Amino acid sequence: MRARAGRMSTRPPSPRAPVVGTMPTVSPLALARRPLGGRLPEPIDGRRVSFHAKARDAIWQTVRALAPEPGENVLLPSYNCGAEVDAVLKAAAGVRFYRVDRETCVDLQHLRESIDGGTRAVIVTHYFGFPQPELQAIVELCRARGLLLIEDCAHALYSSPGGRPLGTYGDIAVFSLWKTLPIPDGAATRMNGRLRVTGGGVQPPLRRSLDWIRLSVRARLVLRHGRAGRFLKRYAVDVAAAAVKRLPAVIPPPPPAVASGNPHVSFDGASAALTMSAPALLIASRSDHRAIAARRRRNYTLLAAEIRRLGGMRPLHPELPDGVCPLCLPVVSDDAPSLQEHFARRGIGTELFWSEFHPACPAGDFPDATFLKTHVLALPIHQDLDSPALEHVVAAIRAWRAET
């Protein structure tokens, strides 16, 4: 029987316990430490790449480039975040959905049956950085039916199973760089076929990037020094903040955003023209890609092994195949909201993964996707987690096991 919140031990964490966020943070030295130059990782280091502020902008541009006629549609997975669905709809295409099972694998038969006379493109998603097992068959199906295959690699930066990067299979691939790297924004489109997207042409406001960097540096201090880090930031970060405030507004403010529901799961047309900001591009290209992927793999392997040993929750992918770089560690739990609260009480940020449903996707037709949306909690394994932070997460996993 699971202990309820009121009966759990509520000993406050030590003020020096790390506070682990869901996203990696930027080091104040990130821009100074590495030599000028640097480069983006494969497969977004070549010439057939364009840049955007977010991956949903890349999807919107891709569908616009297809110029869908009224009544034409794009096929999307039933397990989706919502932002990609919204981007397709706002690019004036219809949407249809194919089944994804409880292990996040595409149901190839259902995908085949869902293609109709109006289908122009298929979006396939490599959830959490893991490749779709039937990817080659999906490539062949799309080729045979004359459909554009869009590989959604929003979670799959650095994933290269068998030595071939994800994002090199479809006609076009989109990456959401800000989900893996400590940057304020940033997405890329890799073009493998004839369709071209130009990317965004407008720089996001510089002040927005600098504000993000300030908050991220603060979060880094809190991660490394526990709640005591909040005091450190007064000295370290606010000096930088004061300097930022004195900057002239060199870039005009963005046009007013069009409100369109939850910003995490919707597409805002006002941002479609934005490219990846200059600070984001600088940080991304100077990042140590090999070290980040290795750290993520190490953290995933360690935490997944601990969870497999203890039980109390189940890793969606118990094993990490060679070459896969995980976005996070998705675990399946019968009570994901309580588990999330448990971690939050210990200063560990997690995400109820895709608990929002896009209204265009008929959830009732897809019980497996609904199961995933209501049972998956994403634990952090990102590159910021050093040994003390990992030990802190392991202690929280053990405490959950002891209390349930």
Ligand X SMILES: Cc1ncc(COP(=O)(O)O)c(C=O)c1O
CB nearer ligand X, residue 28 or residue 269: 269
Rule CB under 6 A: say whether 187 interacts with ligand X. yes
Closest contact distance (angstroms) between CB of 176 and ligand X is 3
Contact with ligand X (CB under 6 A): which of 17, 20, 55, 284?
55
H or E element at residue 315: strand 314-315
CB nearer ligand X, residue 105 or residue 236: 105
Closest contact distance (angstroms) between CB of 326 and ligand X is 14
CB nearer ligand X, residue 23 or residue 187: 187
Tokens of 171: 């006609």
Tokens of 83: 């932002």
Print the binding letters for residues 344-383 with ligand X: x by CB under 6 A, - otherwise: ----------------------------------------
Closest contact distance (angstroms) between CB of 131 and ligand X is 14
Contact with ligand X (CB under 6 A): which of 17, 41, 51, 56?
56
Closest contact distance (angstroms) between CB of 368 and ligand X is 16
C-alpha count within 13 angstroms, C-beta hemisphere, residue 257: 11
Residues between 314 and 333 that touch ligand X (CB under 6 A) = none
Handedness of CA 38, 277, 266, 378 (dihedral sign): positive
CB nearer ligand X, residue 343 or residue 353: 353
Please tell me the distance from the alpha carbon of residue 364 to that of residue 341, in angstroms, as a whole number.
28
CB nearer ligand X, residue 152 or residue 396: 152
Instruction: Name residue, tokens 């540096």.
Output: 217
Print the binding letters for residues 137-176 with ligand X: x by CB under 6 A, - otherwise: ---------------x-xx--------------------x
Tokens of 273: 């023209």
99-102: which pairs have CB atoms within 8 A and are 24 or more residues apart? 99/366, 99/368, 99/369, 100/366, 100/368, 100/369, 100/372, 101/368, 102/368, 102/371, 102/372
Q: Which residues of 219-247 are buried (b: 16+ CB within 10 A; e: fewer)?
A: bbbbbbbbbebeeebeeebeebbeeeeee
Asked if 93 and 73 touch (Cβ cutoff 8 Å), the reply is: yes
CB nearer ligand X, residue 350 or residue 404: 350
CB nearer ligand X, residue 20 or residue 272: 272
Q: Is 24 helix (H, G, I), strand (E, B) or coil?
A: coil
C-alpha count within 13 angstroms, C-beta hemisphere, residue 360: 23
Residues near ligand X (CB under 6 A), total: 12
Closest contact distance (angstroms) between CB of 185 and ligand X is 8
Please tell me the distance from the alpha carbon of residue 88 to that of residue 94, in angstroms, as a whole number.
7
Closest contact distance (angstroms) between CB of 159 and ligand X is 13
Closest contact distance (angstroms) between CB of 54 and ligand X is 3
Instruction: Name residue, tokens 């009570």.
Output: 335
Tokens of 310: 């203890």
CB nearer ligand X, residue 353 or residue 400: 353
Which residues have C-beta within 8 Å of that of residue 328, sequence separation ≥ 6? 22, 128, 351, 353, 378, 379, 380, 381, 382
Rule CB under 6 A: say whether 100 interacts with ligand X. no
Please tell me the distance from the alpha carbon of residue 362 to that of residue 78, in angstroms, as a whole number.
8
Closest contact distance (angstroms) between CB of 271 and ligand X is 9
Please tell me the distance from the alpha carbon of residue 313 to that of residue 342, in angstroms, as a whole number.
13
Rule CB under 6 A: say whether 122 interacts with ligand X. no
Contact with ligand X (CB under 6 A): which of 19, 21, 51, 54?
54
CB nearer ligand X, residue 68 or residue 330: 330
Which residues have C-beta within 8 Å of that of residue 330, sequence separation ≥ 6? 127, 128, 315, 316, 317, 353, 376, 377, 378, 379
CB nearer ligand X, residue 56 or residue 342: 56
Closest contact distance (angstroms) between CB of 203 and ligand X is 17
Residues between 58 and 97 that touch ligand X (CB under 6 A) = 81, 83-84
Closest contact distance (angstroms) between CB of 67 and ligand X is 22
Residues lying near ligand X in the complex (CB under 6 A): 54-56, 81, 83-84, 125, 152, 154-155, 176, 187
